[in-house]
Amino acid sequence: MHEYSIVQSLLETCEEHARQNDSKQVTKVVVKIGVLSGVEPDLLQTAFDTFKEKTVCDGAEFIINHQKIVISCTDCGEDSTLEKHEFCCPKCESTQIKVIDGEDMYLMSLEME
């Protein structure tokens, strides 16, 4: 389960941001997880809830935003959000596409006191 190592890194980042902003407590952590990122949201939530104790994130709300796959078609130039995992352009049905969002996980925001 690589979610545990992801949370460890996330908590270290939160600690660093809190220290840089003279904050003692992080009250909210918002992340964006792409459906192709390989990160399991439920396991990430469990890992965060487990490891946040006795850190600046103890008691913090953890919000996960799910990012669908966004593609750009190299044939027609259209950007589209895929509703299914069918990797072709919904407009022209070309398979000459590039994934432009939905593959990564990002820390979007922190709220601190």
CATH code: domain of residue 82: 3.30.2320.80
Residue range 15-27: average pLDDT? Answer: 96
High-pLDDT (> 90) share of the chain, %: 94
Residues 74 and 95: their CA atoms lie apart, in Å, by 9
Residue range 39-55: average pLDDT? Answer: 96
High-pLDDT (> 70) share of the chain, %: 99
92 is known to lie in a ligand binding site = yes
| Residues constituting the chain | 113
76 is known to lie in a ligand binding site = yes
2 is known to lie in a ligand binding site = yes
User: Residue 76: which residues within 8 A CB-CB, separation 6 or more?
Assistant: 89, 91, 92, 94
Tally of domains in the chain: 1
Domain coverage including residue 79: 3-112
Q: How far from the centroid of its chain's Cα atoms is residue 4's Cα?
A: 14
pLDDT score at 108: 97
89 is known to lie in a ligand binding site = yes
